[in-house]
């Protein structure tokens, strides 16, 4: 069993920045590809970003390219999402997720592929 705990959400003004963290425990962190997803009220959950086990590859949704950066520190069992130039449409609950894989360089942008999920952290961007 692996546990994921997100932190760093909050209320910010448009144009501001936030850094989300997801701390993992249980299984070896480096055994998992990691992803960030978000869900706004009344909307489906959508993909935001993913990073391979080793951190060598990343992939982003078009809506956040150039503004968000996903990274990981395997020595700290933590994955991050740096969010810059935030917009009101970024308002959502943000979830981190883990996907066990034997492939160090593979990416997983589909939510149904992930096995473990955090509780989510609220990000609210005011105009």
Q: What is the pLDDT of residues 15-62, one digit of tens each?
A: 999 999 999 997 689 999 999 999 999 999 999 999 999 999 999 999
Lowest mean pLDDT among 14-23, 80-89, 105-114, 118-127: 105-114
pLDDT value of position 28? 83
pLDDT range class, residue 104, cuts 50, 70, 90: confident
pLDDT value of residue 27 = 65
Give residue for tokens 């609950």.
93
Q: Could you tell me the pLDDT band of residue 2, with boundaries at 50, 70 and 90? A: confident
Residue with tokens 């503004």: 67
Are 94 and 81 in contact by the 8 Å Cβ rule? The answer is yes
Q: Pick from 88, 101, 122: which is nearest to 35 by CA?
A: 101
Minimal CA–CA distance to 53: which of 27, 39, 34, 76? 34
């Amino acid at each position: 069993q692996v546990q994921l705990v997100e932190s760093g959400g909050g209320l910010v003004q448009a144009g501001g920045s936030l850094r989300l963290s997801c701390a993992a425990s249980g299984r070896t962190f480096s055994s998992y590809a990691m992803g960030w997803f978000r869900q706004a009220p009344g909307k489906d959950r959508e993909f935001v970003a993913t990073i391979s086990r080793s951190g060598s590859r990343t992939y982003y949704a078009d809506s956040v390219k150039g503004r968000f950066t996903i990274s990981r520190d395997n020595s700290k069992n933590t994955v991050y999402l740096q969010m810059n130039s935030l917009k009101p449409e970024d308002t959502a609950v943000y979830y981190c997720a883990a996907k066990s894989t034997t492939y160090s360089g593979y990416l997983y942008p589909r939510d149904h592929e992930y096995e473990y999920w955090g509780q989510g952290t609220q990000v609210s961007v005011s105009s």
